[in-house]
A and B are shown apart, each in its own frame.
Chain A
C-alpha cells in the first residue's frame, strides 16, 4: 500500500537524479568533479531546508535522539529501579511536575522508561536501515551490474517473499529462541536489540536491492558508463565510481524511510510479545504492559509511549520526504 506509492516515487526521482548528476561524472579530472559534487550537496542541503516540515522533523528527530542518548543524565529516575517500598508507594501517579508522564503500576517513572525505550527504538531503526542498506546495495549492485544468475535469484527470491505475509514471517522467525546462520554459527535472539536488528535487516533488505538494481539497469546504458567501459574500467570501478554515486539519491531516501519502518515493525513485534522482553524496555512492550489500563485513569501509560513512537516515525518519514524533494529538484516547481 504505502510502500507501493513510495517505491514508485523513488523510482521516478531516481531517474531524475541520474539526469542531474550524470553529466558531471563525465568530467574525469578528480578535482573538478569533487568541486561539483560538493556544490551539488550544498544545493541539496539548501533545498532540504526549504522543506519546512522536513526541517522541523529533522530538528525534532535530533532532539529526541539527544534525549535518548543522554537518558542517564536527563531522566531523574532509574527506569528499572529495585522495587522497594518507596518506589511502590508512588505507583499509579498521574502526570505531574515530579513525574511528567506519570508513574506505572509499580511506581516507576514513565518518562525515564520511555527515554530508554526510545533509545532502543532508535538503535533498531538506524541499525536496521544501515545493515539492510549495506546488504541491499551490495546485492542490488551485483544484480544490476552483472545481471546473470545473481539477478535472476534476487528477483525470484523477492517474488517469493511477496506472497508471504511479512508480519507473520517475522513473528515466526522472532519466536526462535536459538537462531543460527544456517546452522553454521549462533545469532543473538530477537529478544535482544542486536538480534532484532539482524532479524529485521535479514528479512528487510530486498526492497533496497530492487531499487538499486533498477537504478543500475537504467544507468548502465548511459553515455558516461559506456565511456568508462570503453576506457577499460573494470566492474568494481564502474560500480563504485559511476553507478553508486549516481544512485545515492534513491538509496538515501529509501534508507531514511527504512528507519521509520523498522521502528514501527520492532514496536509491533514487541507489542505482540515476540521482540524485546520485560525487564528490557521497548516502546512496544511498554504499551503491551499497559494494555489493561485502557479506559482507566492510567491510560496515559499507553498514550505517551505511543505518541513518542508515532512522532519519531513521522519525523523519519518527513525527513525522507524532504530528502526526496532535495535530491529531485524537478519534483517541485
Chain B
C-alpha cells in the first residue's frame, strides 16, 4: 500500500489496519485494511454511513478496541512510536497525553458519580501532574472552553450540565495534557442542533490552543467543508475515496460519495443535516468477498465490480490530493455530478 503524505514525517500513520469482531455467527470485518496519515496540526475528517467502521478505526488508534474485537492486521504509528502491539503499561502513558479522544455521547461518557472538575483533574494527575496544579489548570481549561463560573461548576456532577456544556467538559478533559492528536468521534451528533455549531467552534479553538492535529469523525458534510483539510470516505470498513476537502467535495468520483453529496441540499448553506442515506441494503460485514462492496447498490456497477475489488488509485493525475477506489473512476470523472 502506498502511504500518502503531505509532510515528510506525518504525526499519525495508519497502515493497512484491519479489525475483526469474533461473534458466534462468524468474524465481522469491521475495518478491512485502511491506510491514511494525519500530519501535525492537520484536520482530517472521516465520513461514512453508520457501521462503516469509523468508530472502530478510532478506537483501534487508541488501543481500546472493545472485546470481542481485535486488530488482525496493520500498524499504527504515532510520531516515531509504533503503537500496535505496544504493551498496555506503555500504551496507557500515551493515552490522554499524546492522543486524546472525545466521544459521541457526553452524558454517558462522563462518570455520573464524580464531579466534573475531578474528572478533568484525573486526566492530568494520572500522567504525573501534581494535584494542586491540575486543579488550577482544570478551572482554566473549563474557562477556555466557555464554561461560565468555572470554579463553582467544577464541583458539579455531569447530570447538572446541559448536553453542550458536558461536551465542553469532554473537550477540556481531552486537551488537558495538550495532546498531539485529538480524535473526535461525532462530537455533536448527540447534541441539540442549535448548539452544535458552538461546540464545534469550541473544538476548533481548543485544537488550535493545544496545537493538536484533529481526526474528526462526522456525519455532517457541512462540518467537513467548514473544518477539515482532508477527508476520508469510508464504506464497509474500507476507504473508498480520499483527498483534500476541496477536491473530494467539489469533484467527487466514487458513486457512493456522489450519492452522499447528491442527497445534500447545498454544501454552502448552513444546514447541518445528518448524513443522507443511500438507497439499498447496507453491506454484509460477515462475508469478505472479492467484489466492490457497493456493487449491489451501485447504479454504475459492471461485471468486474462483482468479481474483483477496486483499489484506491489516484484520480486523473492528482496523485497527492485525490484518490478513489472504483473501477469506473475514469468514466465517473467525465460524468458531471448530477445536481
Contact = CB atoms under 8 A, between A and B. Distances in A.
Interface residues of B, number: 3
A326 B95 CA distance: 42
Nearest to A329: B24
Interface in B54-68: 68
Interface string A315-333: 0000000000000000001
A333 B23 CA distance: 8
Nearest to B23: A333
Interface in A274-317: none
Nearest to B22: A333
A158 B23 CA distance: 42
Contacts of A333: 23-24, 68
Contacts of B68: 333
Contacts of B23: 333
A333 B68 CA distance: 10
Contacts of B24: 333
B67 to A, nearest CB: 10
A328 to B, nearest CB: 14
Nearest to A333: B24
Interface of B: prevailing SS = loop
Interface residue tally of chain A, by bracket?
under 10
Nearest to B68: A333
A1 to B, nearest CB: 25
Interface string B8-30: 00000000000000011000000
Interface string B66-92: 001000000000000000000000000
A155 B24 CA distance: 41
Interface string B175-218: 00000000000000000000000000000000000000000000
A194 B23 CA distance: 51
A333 B25 CA distance: 10
B28 to A, nearest CB: 13
Nearest to B24: A333
A333 B21 CA distance: 13
A225 B120 CA distance: 51
A326 to B, nearest CB: 16
A329 to B, nearest CB: 9
A333 B24 CA distance: 6
Interface in A123-150: none
A293 to B, nearest CB: 52
B70 to A, nearest CB: 15
B276 to A, nearest CB: 32
B118 to A, nearest CB: 32
B23 to A, nearest CB: 8
Interface in A176-192: none
A3 B117 CA distance: 40
A9 to B, nearest CB: 20
A30 B233 CA distance: 52
A38 B73 CA distance: 45
A43 to B, nearest CB: 14
Interface in B1-57: 23-24
A214 B24 CA distance: 31
B66 to A, nearest CB: 14
A46 to B, nearest CB: 15
B333 to A, nearest CB: 47
Nearest to A332: B24
Interface in A153-167: none
Interface string B247-273: 000000000000000000000000000
A29 B68 CA distance: 41
B272 to A, nearest CB: 37
Interface in B101-157: none
B101 to A, nearest CB: 27
A171 to B, nearest CB: 43
A185 to B, nearest CB: 56
A157 B236 CA distance: 56
Interface string B288-320: 000000000000000000000000000000000
A65 to B, nearest CB: 35
3 contacts: A333-B23, A333-B24, A333-B68
Interface of B: 23-24, 68
Interface of A: 333
Q: Which 3 A-B pairs have the closest CB atoms?
A: A333-B24, A333-B23, A333-B68
